[in-house]
Structure 1
Amino acid sequence: MDLKTLLIDLGNTALKWALLGDERTPQTVVHRDNAAFKDKLYAQWLELAPDRVLGCTVAAPELAFSATKFFNDHDIRWHWIRSQAAFESPGLTLRSAYENPAQLGADRWCAALGAIDAMPGESLLVVQMGTATTVDAVRHMGGNEYVFLGGRIAPGPTMMKKSLEAIPALRGEPTEWEAFPHSTRAAVTTGILDAQAGLVREAYETLLKEAGRVKVVLAGGAARFVEPRLRAQLPDVMLQHNLVLLGLAAQARHQLLKE
């Protein structure tokens, strides 16, 4: 009998979930500043009657605890993924070069696996733009072998804007990028977009020297704001959301093979 697997990506602002097989079209619940969603969400999960849950969480510990209690109360097997020294399956091996592999955020590890699933056979720069921006380098070593080399973390676009809004004169709605901003609003917007794109470009050029060819996989809630500026500077950008769920799906399929 086929097992029904529920995949969960619990982030700082939103929770995404899908059944294995439908991971590219997930459901999304914004949980930040929202306390009224749990009953409806748990009722949906109960109706799905999953046999097991595979999840990734690096934020919202109270919600993670609540969900875990729900699964326990209904005898649903669950596992919150942690980063590994290596992920090895018949079609993919990803090794971590992190000094302490367990210290790497599980979302970054899952996103790396998801990016490989979305664009196999390439050295990749995996960019997630949310509350924080993470830019991680994955080198293709040939065949099905990859190495997670490491990455960069910086404030995301919204966090950058909020930090500047501590100064009243810098408050205002975002506008378009300008080569030579003629207003304070445009100066703030342009500065943020250039900071985000520059972070990615620097990481891209560094990995390019190592790998010879690099593709950029871009994801996250803030990606759509930065994407036009980034595409103006880098040629190989692929917008692919739900990388964490894709990575969870890869791990779930591997576990099914072992059972």
Structure 2
Amino acid sequence: MTTLLIDLGNTALKWCTLDDPQPRTVVHRDRTDFKEALYAEWLALRPERVVGSAVAAPNLAFSMTKFFNDHGWVWEWLRPQAVFRNETLTLVNCYDNPMRLGADRWNAAIGAVSASPGRTLLVVHMGTATTVDTIVRESEGSYRFEGGRIAPGPTLMLKGLTDGIPTLSNEMGVWQPFPTATRDAIATGIIDAQVGLVLRALDEAARKDPNPLLLLAGGAAGFVAPHLKGAIPELRVHHNLVLQGLAARAVASGTETAT
């Protein structure tokens, strides 16, 4: 049975199948010309089941749901849970209201623990928004999603500046220790803000566990990663955590517990 996994984010849609985890990516923001080709690819797969995470583009999610229904595919947009369990791990959601946590963050947390078991993790995703989430290992196979931080991503920071100050150019420069051009001053400020956000969260995570591992993902990860690597003992660039989390939930769907 073919299971289609879909991560529908603010800017891009990523998908793969349970049997072939190599992701395909479609940038959907401000575009409507991609659905015909995408749906043709999915039809060729003939999936019996669709498991997805949708945090944006409600019209696109609705269109996809209609497409699934038209072809008789069983589908589910997976929401966050209070607890996820499978044969190897238990992850507790410590959000005040677990159902208010973004589905992408929860599914990425499951993917992160599945990909890097046995560690306290700082999961950083830099896209339209930057999210920094802490997952604490309590004991063998037992983890807690402690919560996290959300800030504008680098592109959104730049847009906020140029929208608020029209005289500024929207050209992004490069990081400099002492910027002497406005475009470099903007780039340096944005990078330093992203790095500072991560380092502050890392300090807090280290109060729970002195040796956290940082997993970095997202379209803007490459822009900031070089400035983090020298400051953080353990950093791995690890993309597609949401899809990995969806895969774990799809496999565990017969036994997973949502309470």
TM-score, scaled relative to structure 2: 0.96
**Which residue in the other structure is 2:216 paired with?**
218
**Which residue in the other structure is 2:96 paired with?**
99
Unaligned stretches of 5+ residues in structure 2: none
Contact 1:10–1:16, Cα closer than 8 Å, also in 2: yes
Which residue identity is paired with 1:157?
P
Contact 1:164–1:171, Cα closer than 8 Å, also in 2: no
Pick from 178, 181, 186 the counterpart of residue 180 of structure 1.
178
**Which residue in the other structure is 1:209 paired with?**
207
**Which residue in the other structure is 2:11 paired with?**
13
Contact 2:3–2:48, Cα closer than 8 Å, also in 1: yes
1:1-259 to structure 2, matched below 5 A, reads 3-23=1-21, 25-166=22-163, 167-255=165-253
Describe the superposition over 1:118-151 as per-residue Cα deviations: whole angstroms up to 9, x where unpaired: 2111000000111100000000111110000000
CA distance in 1 between partners of 2:20 and 2:135 (Å): 25
Describe the superposition over 1:42-97 as per-residue Cα deviations: whole angstroms up to 9, x where unpaired: 11111100010000001000000000000001110000000000001111110011
Number of residue pairs aligned between Structure 1 and Structure 2? 255
CA distance in 1 between partners of 2:39 and 2:183 (Å): 42
CA distance in 2 between partners of 1:209 and 1:139 (Å): 10
Distance apart, 1:159 and its partner CA: 0.3
- Structure 2 residue matching 1:233: 3-state secondary structure: coil
Which residue identity is paired with 1:102?
M
Contact 2:86–2:255, Cα closer than 8 Å, also in 1: no
Greater displacement, 160-169 / 232-241: 160-169
Describe the superposition over 1:220-259 as per-residue Cα deviations: whole angstroms up to 9, x where unpaired: 011110101111221211100101001001111112568x
CA distance in 1 between partners of 2:187 and 2:106 (Å): 30
Q: CA RMSD in A?
A: 1.2
Distance apart, 1:39 and its partner CA: 1.0
- Structure 2 residue matching 1:78: 3-state secondary structure: strand
CA distance in 1 between partners of 2:166 and 2:227 (Å): 26
Describe the superposition over 1:3-59 as per-residue Cα deviations: whole angstroms up to 9, x where unpaired: 210000000111100001322x21111111111111111111111000100000010
- Structure 2 residue matching 1:201: 3-state secondary structure: helix
CA distance in 2 between partners of 1:63 and 1:6 (Å): 17
Distance apart, 1:169 and its partner CA: 3.7
Contact 1:170–1:188, Cα closer than 8 Å, also in 2: no
- Structure 2 residue matching 1:252: 3-state secondary structure: helix
CA distance in 2 between partners of 1:220 and 1:111 (Å): 11
Distance apart, 1:116 and its partner CA: 1.0
CA distance in 2 between partners of 1:43 and 1:119 (Å): 35
Describe the superposition over 1:141-197 as per-residue Cα deviations: whole angstroms up to 9, x where unpaired: 111100000000000000000111122443142222111111111110000000001
Identity %: 55
Unaligned stretches of 5+ residues in structure 1: none
Contact 2:15–2:25, Cα closer than 8 Å, also in 1: yes
Contact 1:115–1:243, Cα closer than 8 Å, also in 2: yes
Greater displacement, 38-47 / 59-68: 38-47
Stretches (4+) displaced over 2 A: none
TM-score, scaled relative to structure 1: 0.96
CA distance in 1 between partners of 2:150 and 2:20 (Å): 30
